[in-house]
Structure 1
Amino acid sequence: MNTAPSTGIRRTTDARRHYRALIDALLAEGDRHAARACAELAVAQGIWRHPEQRPEHYVPSLEPCPVFDPAQFWFTGYLADSYPRIRAELDTVTVASPGGFLPVEEPLLDRGRWEQVTFYEAGHRFADVCERFPVTASVIEGIPEASSGGPGVVTLSWLYPGTHIRPHCGGSNARHRVHLGLRAPEGPRIRVGDQTLSWQEGQCLVFDDSFEHEVWHDGTQPRVVLLLDVSHHALDPSVRDWILSARTEFDQRISSYMSARGIQRAELTEDALRLTADRGVTSLVTRYLRESNATAIELRDGKARYEYR
């Protein structure tokens, strides 16, 4: 079963979110057969049109297609022409961390090491990163569809040998994800839907990351790509403008993130990030500690470890 016609029923984001959470849980348990059966049921019920495409924010009118020909987009040629300058700047960075790269915070890492540095997120420009990589930043600014007018992120993504990124789907089918290969040794590969691709230096991959995709790096040298999100080429302009207008300011996203997790204050010190919980979380954890006669609690490998005086 590959695709199904629309049922004509308008499904809500909540319905898609619940289906997606169930499928992700089954995948995390290693039961790909059950996950596939659940995905096909979702298609039959009009949640999505393809069992391997599972975004929460879904535009049903867009034809399901996991991978696109890079030649149909003007900016892929521009990026290929700019590759030597971006690569020369990247080559001044021999390891990721001193260059400002940070671990990717998404819980997608099965094993290995994956780091990135972010230039733009939902149109917000990170000035310190752009100053650190001025050549790359100037190239990105030449693609307004990805920079100030971008629907997602623009990053340098650094993947170390031995890494596996779990199967997952992006949050929206209304965008394309673009990868420009910067360092592309033998060994790394990406599966998007039922297609397996590899990177080539100076060339682009264009795919729909709302399709299930995963990455392996079985080589010996780091893989580095410039990653950009742009609006889907077939998206109605009025829908595209509405989606872009709904982007939240960076401060709003930080506020929502902290509020949802009960964080009242975050402070970056020389050796650690210190978080202060809000009143509700403080009260709850204090009660747990007192009931356990413990002075501290720490999560290690997903399990609570208590400390006692």
Structure 2
Amino acid sequence: MGSPTAKRKQRSPIQRVIRWSPWHYRFWREIARWCYEQSLHNPAVVAADSGFPAHRQLLQSYQQIRKETLEIALSGRLPANHEIMQQQRTLYEFDRKVWGMLPLRGYGYDYPANQALIPSLRSFLQHHPDVVSAAVSLFPPGKVLRPHKGPFKGVWRYHLPLYVEHFGDGRSSCELMIDGQNYYLQEGEGFLWDDTFMHSAINRSSQPRVVLLFDVFRKDQPIWLIGMSWIFLWVAQIWQHVQNMRQRAGLQ
């Protein structure tokens, strides 16, 4: 996947203990991940029609969604992902290339001003509360997303590419490696997967790539996990409110 242009900081044993102690979110994140992994057994990539049937409505409105979204995404005004969420800063520090992100909904917490910029998506989100997160992602040329795992197995991750360069032979600039396998996403084709599997991404083109990212609440969870998932979402909503995320997440 290419080597980073900047080395990651080496942390002392004391710093590592602090980062993985009960007073840090990483401690609870790993406990929650373990609970989900004991009960949910699925492949890394799943059929969108089965895990997220409503994605067909998105595809039916694809051209309008694409037009409205690209007017915003390619304006050069998207906030930086790591400035919205400090927890994402290591993904920026890996290569120092800014990953643009416009949140529309975050774990059930709406961003009304951002949604108003893309009316076709706002209408879809209003009718689909099971889409607990939605965002416009702008991956700059040459950006490398280091291998990592998502924190929450209670959702499926859905990608809908809007602006992608095609290299031929099925390859594209929207390149993902998930659980050791490469996938090349194409414009207008939805892709559903479980981002708690190890994954990374790269844009090998000279132009940005724009993708819609959704998190879709999983309906195949046992009842006790559904309760745990809603608690997770509730805490995430409170955290975003306390952090005044709406102010930081607006267009620049």
TM-score (norm 1): 0.59
- Name the amino acid aligned to 1:130: Q
Question: Does residue 161 of structure 2 align to residue 181 of structure 1?
Answer: yes
Distance 2:64 2:103 in 1: 19
- Distance change >3 Å, CA 145–CA 164, structure 1 → 2: same
Give 1:238 deviation, angstroms: 4.6
1:40-119 matches, cutoff 5 A? 56-58=31-33, 59=36, 60-72=38-50, 73-93=52-72, 95-98=74-77, 101-105=78-82, 106=88, 107-109=90-92, 110-111=94-95, 112-119=97-104
- Distance change >3 Å, CA 136–CA 242, structure 1 → 2: same
Distance 1:229 1:63 in 2: 18
Give 1:94 deviation, angstroms: 6.4
Q: How many residues align?
A: 204
- Distance change >3 Å, CA 215–CA 249, structure 1 → 2: closer
TM-score (norm 2): 0.72
1:151-190 matches, cutoff 5 A? 153-186=133-166, 187-190=173-176
Give structure 2 stretches of 5+ with no counterpart.
Answer: 1-6, 10-28, 83-87, 167-172
- Distance change >3 Å, CA 129–CA 202, structure 1 → 2: same
Identity score, percent: 22
Question: Does residue 201 of structure 2 align to residue 221 of structure 1?
Answer: no
Higher relative contact order (CA 8 A, sep 6+): 2
- Distance change >3 Å, CA 55–CA 191, structure 1 → 2: farther
Give 1:254 deviation, angstroms: 5.4
Tell whether the 8 Å contact from 1:118 to 1:155 is kept in structure 2 after alignment.
yes
User: Could you list the per-position Cα deviations for residues 255-300 of structure 1 after superposition, in whole angstroms to 9, with x for gaps in the alignment?
Assistant: 4x69xxxxxxxx98xxxxxxxxxxxxxxxxxxxxxxxxxxxxxxxx
2:126 matched residue in structure 1: 141
Question: Does residue 208 of structure 2 align to residue 230 of structure 1?
Answer: no
1:9 matched residue in structure 2: none
User: What secondary structure does 2:59 align onto?
Assistant: helix
2:25 matched residue in structure 1: none
Which of 235, 238, 241 matches 1:248?
Answer: 235
Give 1:252 deviation, angstroms: 3.9
- Distance change >3 Å, CA 56–CA 201, structure 1 → 2: farther
- Distance change >3 Å, CA 249–CA 177, structure 1 → 2: closer
1:285-300 matches, cutoff 5 A? none
Give 1:249 deviation, angstroms: 6.2
Tell whether the 8 Å contact from 1:102 to 1:116 is kept in structure 2 after alignment.
yes
User: Could you list the per-position Cα deviations for residues 128-186 of structure 1 after superposition, in whole angstroms to 9, with x for gaps in the alignment?
Assistant: 1112222221122232211xxx2xx3100111111001111011222110111111213
Distance 1:97 1:64 in 2: 38
- Distance change >3 Å, CA 56–CA 189, structure 1 → 2: farther
User: What secondary structure does 2:39 align onto?
Assistant: coil
User: What secondary structure does 2:40 align onto?
Assistant: coil
- Distance change >3 Å, CA 136–CA 254, structure 1 → 2: closer
Which range moves more in the overlay, 186-195 or 115-124? 186-195
Distance 1:113 1:249 in 2: 24
- Distance change >3 Å, CA 215–CA 83, structure 1 → 2: same
Tell whether the 8 Å contact from 2:73 to 2:136 is kept in structure 1 after alignment.
no
4+ residue runs of structure 1 moved beyond 6 angstroms? Answer: none
Tell whether the 8 Å contact from 1:117 to 1:156 is kept in structure 2 after alignment.
yes
Give 1:97 deviation, angstroms: 3.1
User: What secondary structure does 1:138 align onto?
Assistant: helix
1:253-292 matches, cutoff 5 A? 253=240, 255=242
- Name the amino acid aligned to 1:65: P
Asked which structure has the greater CA Rg, the reply is: 1
